[in-house]
Amino acid sequence: MNYILMGPPGAGKGTQAKKIVEKFGIVHLSTGDMFREAKKSDEDIRKFLVSGRLVPDEIVVNMVKKRLEKDDIKKGFLLDGFPRTVNQAQELDKMLKSENIKIDAVFFIDVHFEEAVKRISGRRVCSCGASYHVNFIPPKVKGKCDVCNGELIQRSDDKENVVKDRLDVYKKQTSPLIDYYKKTGLFVNIDGLKSESEVFKEIKKYIEAK
Ligand SMILES: [Zn+2]
């Protein structure tokens, strides 16, 4: 059971990843987590992350490669955040081929542009760690945290124009990747406009049918 999970920012990919690895007992291979870990010990990666520049393919690929050498992936895995580009996907294919590992499906949580913008730009957070959404999880008092009564703020990354830029970048990078996986027959489109539990049900149904 080896899967790839893809989806634009705002698609709820993190939540689904957690549900999938819990339900099926497979390993969550998140490049986000790998970066956070590598940042502590790897000076090259730290420099890129601090500067905000895109980490070059070669570094990302090597990081994933090292992770795939660990024994625990034999339980099955869910790749999250990788591959991002066709080049990365081709490198992944090479790695897997040499280890005789197969990918069973590539799940793409599909959310259209306007919906993703609405979901992300509506997020509000409190310094105590609580998070809200102006439409979906509004606080009892507008702009105030239910837990600590603190002032709610919008992360700079979540501002509408920033979100639109992020989504543009995502779209440009991923459209060729989606075509790439469609050709392999592994691509599974999941309607991300449904509720979290319905999205999960769809993914689960697919995995269990295999
Ligand atoms: Zn709070």
3-state secondary structure the chain: CEEEEECCCCCCHHHHHHHHHHHHCCEEEEHHHHHHHHHHHCHHHHHHHHHCCCCCHHHHHHHHHHHHCCHHHHHCEEEECCCCCHHHHHHHHHHHHHHCCCCCEEEEEECCHHHHHHHHHCEEECCCCCEEECCCECCCCCCECCCCCCECECCHHHCHHHHHHHHHHHHHHHHHHHHHHHHHCCEEEEECCCCHHHHHHHHHHHHHHC
Q: How far is the CA of 159 from the centre of ligand 1 (A)?
A: 20
Please give the pLDDT value at position 102.
95
Select from 201, 207, 200 the least CA-distant residue to 12: 200
Q: How far is the CA of 83 from the centre of ligand 1 (A)?
A: 36
pLDDT tens string 145-170: 999 999 999 999 899 999 999 889 88
Please give the pLDDT value at position 120.
92
Q: How far is the CA of 152 from the centre of ligand 1 (A)?
A: 8
d(Cα 150, Cα 33) in Å, to the nearest integer?
29
Q: How far is the CA of 198 from the centre of ligand 1 (A)?
A: 30
Distant-in-sequence contacts of 61-65, Cβ < 8 A, 24+ apart: 61/88, 61/91, 61/92, 61/95, 63/31, 63/34, 63/35, 63/38, 64/29, 64/31, 64/34, 64/92, 64/95, 65/95
pLDDT tens string 120-148: 999 999 999 999 999 999 999 999 999 99
Please give the pLDDT value at position 61.
92
d(Cα 145, Cα 153) in Å, to the nearest integer?
10
Domains of the chain: 2-111+169-209 (3.40.50.300)
Residues annotated as catalytic are 13, 84, 123, 155, 166
Per the prediction, the chain carries an average pLDDT of 92
Q: How far is the CA of 148 from the centre of ligand 1 (A)?
A: 4
Tell me the average pLDDT across 104-128.
94
Q: Which residues of 56-74 are buried (b: 16+ CB within 10 A; e: fewer)?
A: eeeebbebbeebbeeeebe
Please give the pLDDT value at position 111.
92
pLDDT tens string 169-209: 888 888 999 999 999 999 999 999 998 999 999 999 999 99
